[in-house]
Amino acid sequence: MTALPLILTVFVACAVEAVEALTIVLAAGLTREWRSTFQGMAVALAVLAAIVAVLGPMITLLPLTALRLVVGALLAVFGLQWLRKAILRATGYKSLHDEASAYRREVAAAKAAGASSRGRVRDWYAFTLSFKGVLLEGLEVVFIVITFGASQHNVGAAVIGAAAAVLVVAGTGIAVRAPLARVPENAMKFAVGVMLTSFGIFWGAEGAGVSWPGQDAALLGLVPAVALAALGYTVLLRRPRPARPAAVPASRQVTSS
């Protein structure tokens, strides 16, 4: 199996999370202070890199069968979470993630917060806002990098996909100095959900002792099958939407982020 599906999946997953982290970093930097914002971001990235550096090699020491069983189960569960949310958003039962309104909320909170400094950090609020935003959004990427990379014994390729996504999103964010509201986040989450679920099924079943018909080529059937099932559910469950997605009545929306 080539590293291309691995790199592409990690790239798209990381790009979605990086867009959400960028919204928080921009709100902290433009409203409060850039130096503390960058300090928070740098510390969070260092923590994420340390997690990958420690857990990546450790997890590859596991026997391949056990690794694929555990990683497959985790990826299938994780991928189904992404797919479920993407389908509920696409069908109108959950409001679409709106970077512009998320940005306005963060800016309002940042303006209202008081100023305080700690040690070398001049603005503690900007530091913690940036740190938490990057760390929490980055944890999902780290999870995907480690599980996906370890199962293919290629954590390095997964890291390349993640780093490329961070560079592309950060570069675009610096260029436009605004949240990337036009990125089709839900479609990207749908695609990542399909890939994670498919690979989770493949590796999980292999770990349980199954021999797939056609070996690795079975993925060429599995990925489209998962995509078709998810699209089928989307079509079946879609309901007529009001003119604006935000107008979905709160009582009919499914809770959670």
Instruction: Count the site residues for other proteins by CB under 8 A.
Output: 42
The stretch among 45-53, 106-114, 139-147, 159-167 that binds other proteins (CB under 8 A) is 139-147
First and final C-alpha spacing in the chain = 34
Please report how close the Cβ of residue 88 comes to other proteins at its closest, in angstroms.
Answer: 6
Q: Does 230 bind other proteins (CB under 8 A)?
A: yes
Please report how close the Cβ of residue 69 comes to other proteins at its closest, in angstroms.
Answer: 7
The stretch among 20-28, 163-171, 181-189, 228-236 that binds other proteins (CB under 8 A) is 228-236
- b/e burial code for range 138-172 (CB count within 10 A of at least 16 → b): bebbbbbbbbbbbbbebbebbbbbbeebbeebeeb
CA distances from 133 to 37, 112, 193 (A): 11, 18, 22
The string of DSSP codes covering 49-86 is HHHHHHHHHHHTTS-HHHHHHHHHHHHHHHHHHHHHHH
Site string for other proteins, 175-214 (x = CB under 8 A): ----------------------x--xx--xx-xxxxxxx-
Cβ distance to other proteins smaller for residue 60 or 91? 91
Please report how close the Cβ of residue 212 comes to other proteins at its closest, in angstroms.
Answer: 5
Please report how close the Cβ of residue 93 comes to other proteins at its closest, in angstroms.
Answer: 5
Please report how close the Cβ of residue 78 comes to other proteins at its closest, in angstroms.
Answer: 7
Q: Does 63 bind other proteins (CB under 8 A)?
A: no
Please report how close the Cβ of residue 209 comes to other proteins at its closest, in angstroms.
Answer: 4
Please report how close the Cβ of residue 62 comes to other proteins at its closest, in angstroms.
Answer: 16
Cβ distance to other proteins smaller for residue 179 or 207? 207
Rounded CA-CA distance 87/74 in Å is: 20
Q: Does 80 bind other proteins (CB under 8 A)?
A: yes
- b/e burial code for range 79-116 (CB count within 10 A of at least 16 → b): bbbbbbbbbbbbbbebbebbbeebbeebbeebeebeee
Cβ distance to other proteins smaller for residue 125 or 203? 203
Query: Residue written as tokens 């900007």?
Result: 126
Rounded CA-CA distance 21/144 in Å is: 17
Q: How many CA atoms lie within 13 A of 192 on its CB side?
A: 28
Which residues are near other proteins by CB under 8 A?
Answer: 69, 72-74, 76-78, 80-81, 83-85, 87-88, 91, 93, 139-140, 143, 197, 200-201, 204-205, 207-213, 218, 222, 225-226, 229-230, 233, 237, 254-256
